[in-house]
A and B are shown apart, each in its own frame.
Chain A
Amino acid sequence: DVKVTQSSRYLVKRTGEKVFLECVQDMDHENMFWYRQDPGLGLRLIYFSYDVKMKEKGDIPEGYSVSREKKERFSLILESASTNQTSMYLCASSLWRGINYGYTFGSGTRLTVV
């Protein structure tokens, strides 16, 4: 089974801190994604990546950046954390061979910014 691992389950950070959320997948998937989930707003795509060193903005990229130096690792960076970035963050990966074979999600990181 594909495994997508997020480094932290719960995280508390202070306003203005630089925050790194790490995601690693172990099945050589090309595509990786970061979503955030908020009550009443569902899951929204922040950034995604089709390949190493490639990144594309999703629907809500403001205040975030990403890094993908290795195929298996996709990092989400909050340059200067703010309280409105308190949320559940979910990482996913998928295999692309002309068609998509389905997405697998990590267990999520619940981030609180105080």
Chain B
Amino acid sequence: GIQVEQSPPDLILQEGANSTLRCNFSDSVNNLQWFHQNPWGQLINLFYIPSGTKQNGRLSATTVATERYSLLYISSSQTTDSGVYFCAVERKGAQKLVFGQGTRLTINP
């Protein structure tokens, strides 16, 4: 099956810092999503981004489908950004989402 690797596994930053999270995948995809899992376990959809670039406030994401990676950028981090960020992909021809192991982001005040 398709492999999804996220890096780094853990990231600790001070409030106000910028961060870049990476997701590599091993096959062509027709769906890629970034999620933020809050401390209560809820998975919040950040971006649906199988290709291209999107921005939403302090967050932006870029997927380069031909090179099989995606990047999530968080600027001017806030403590509420803490949590686990997941990349998940759906291989072409499949209808199920495969998750990476996540990046645990901790923003200290």
What are 29 A-B residue pairs whose CB atoms fall within 8 Å in the complex?
A: A31-B95, A33-B96, A37-B41, A42-B99, A42-B100, A42-B101, A43-B86, A43-B99, A45-B96, A48-B95, A50-B95, A90-B43, A100-B31, A100-B90, A100-B95, A101-B48, A102-B31, A102-B33, A102-B45, A103-B45, A103-B97, A104-B45, A107-B40, A107-B41, A107-B42, A108-B40, A108-B42, A108-B43, A110-B41
Write out the residue numbers on chain A whose beta carbons fall within 8 Å of the beta carbon of B41.
37, 88, 90, 107-108, 110
* Interface residue ranges, B against A (CB under 8 Å): 30-31, 33, 35, 40-43, 45, 48, 86, 88, 90, 95-102
The answer to whether residues A48 and B42 also contact, given A100-B31, A100-B90 and a CB cut-off of 8 A, is no
Write out the residue numbers on chain A whose beta carbons fall within 8 Å of the beta carbon of B90.
100
Is A24 in the interface zone, CB < 8 Å from B?
no
* Interface residue ranges, A against B (CB under 8 Å): 31, 33, 37, 42-43, 45, 48, 50, 58, 88, 90, 92, 94, 96, 99-105, 107-108, 110
Q: Please measure, in the bound complex, the distance between the C-alpha atom of A90 and the C-alpha atom of B98, giving whole angstroms.
A: 14
Decide if B48 touches A102 in the complex (CB within 8 Å). Answer: yes
Given contacts A31-B95, A33-B97, 6 further A-B contacts (CB under 8 A): A37-B41, A94-B95, A94-B97, A103-B88, A103-B97, A104-B45
